[in-house]
Amino acid sequence: MSRKDRNGESIPLLHVYGQFAWHDDVFIIGNRQALKALLEAVKKALEQGKGEADGVFVADGEGYSIVVIRKDDPWPEGWERLALPYTEDYARDRREGIFWPGDLVRESWWCR
């Protein structure tokens, strides 16, 4: 059973669990509505370079947006300044001069 908002609409619930360290799996767990929003964001990123889905929620009720960015730069040259996504302290990227996903959006790197 999915959560409903005050209007009886299904609330798009989506949990994304990133990699703690090297070789760890990423898990995306969502209800149908949230997974459809994610799919549309991916489709838009494939077509236009960037896709967004606004108004998805974590089970505690906190809302957020999904931002999907297509980056077609060659590897490793075009990716070496992008921060590594590991969240565990011992694996966290501490290099200077790297870009985090928010930096990419603010600087419009996604459209290069």
> Which whole number is the average pLDDT over 67-94?
93
Domain limits for position 93: 14-111
> Which whole number is the average pLDDT over 89-95?
95
Given a cut of 50, whether residue 111 has pLDDT beyond it is no
Q: Is residue 1 part of a domain?
A: no
Residue 102: per-residue pLDDT: 80
> Which whole number is the average pLDDT over 84-103?
92
Given a cut of 90, whether residue 20 has pLDDT beyond it is yes
Q: Which of 27, 28, 35 is nearest to 2 (CA)?
A: 35
Q: Is residue 102 part of a domain?
A: yes
Q: Grade residue 4 by pLDDT with cuts at 50, 70 and 90.
A: low
Tens of pLDDT, residue by residue over 23-79, are 999 999 999 999 999 999 999 999 999 999 999 999 999 999 999 999 999 999 889
Residue 103: per-residue pLDDT: 80
Q: Is residue 7 part of a domain?
A: no
Q: Is residue 95 part of a domain?
A: yes
Task: Please provide the DSSP assignment of 8-49 as one string.
Answer: SPBP-BEEEE--SSTT---EEEE-HHHHHHHHHHHHHHHHHS
Q: Which residue carries 């985090």 as its tokens?
A: 100
> Which whole number is the average pLDDT over 7-13?
79
Residue 84: per-residue pLDDT: 95
Q: Is residue 9 part of a domain?
A: no
H or E stretch covering 1: none
H or E stretch covering 54: strand 50-57
Domain count, the chain: 1
Residue 1: per-residue pLDDT: 41
Q: Is residue 5 part of a domain?
A: no
Q: Is residue 65 part of a domain?
A: yes
